[in-house]
């Protein structure tokens, strides 16, 4: 899910039970769009943190 939009992944990774080697789930792997969205989110959160810190330090 990115924002409020659920996206289907093009690639998944099986989650294997280490005790019996059975696959019990699959997780989605992030594609290029998801990684770009995450990068943008991190950059924006850094800007917000700086604004808040500057507000309290002034």
In this prediction, residue 2 carries a pLDDT of: 64
Q: What residues does each domain of the chain span?
A: 12-57
Average pLDDT of each block of 10 consecutive residues along the chain (58 residues)?
70 94 92 83 91 85
Q: Tell me which residue of 36, 29, 26 sits closest to 7, measured CA to CA.
A: 29
**Residue 9 structure tokens:** 């992944």
Supply φ then ψ for residue 17, to 5 degrees: -70, 120
In this prediction, residue 26 carries a pLDDT of: 92
* Cα distance between residue 13 and residue 3, in whole Å: 23
Which residues in 17-50 are b (16+ Cβ under 10 Å) and which e? Answer: eeeeeeeeeeeeeeeeeeeeeeeeeeeeeeeeee
In this prediction, residue 3 carries a pLDDT of: 63
């Amino acid at each position: 899910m990115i924002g409020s939009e659920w996206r289907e992944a093009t690639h998944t990774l099986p989650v294997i039970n280490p005790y019996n080697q059975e696959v019990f789930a699959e997780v989605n792997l992030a594609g290029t769009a998801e990684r770009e969205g995450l990068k943008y989110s991190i950059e924006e959160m850094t800007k917000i943190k700086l604004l808040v810190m500057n507000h309290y330090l002034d």
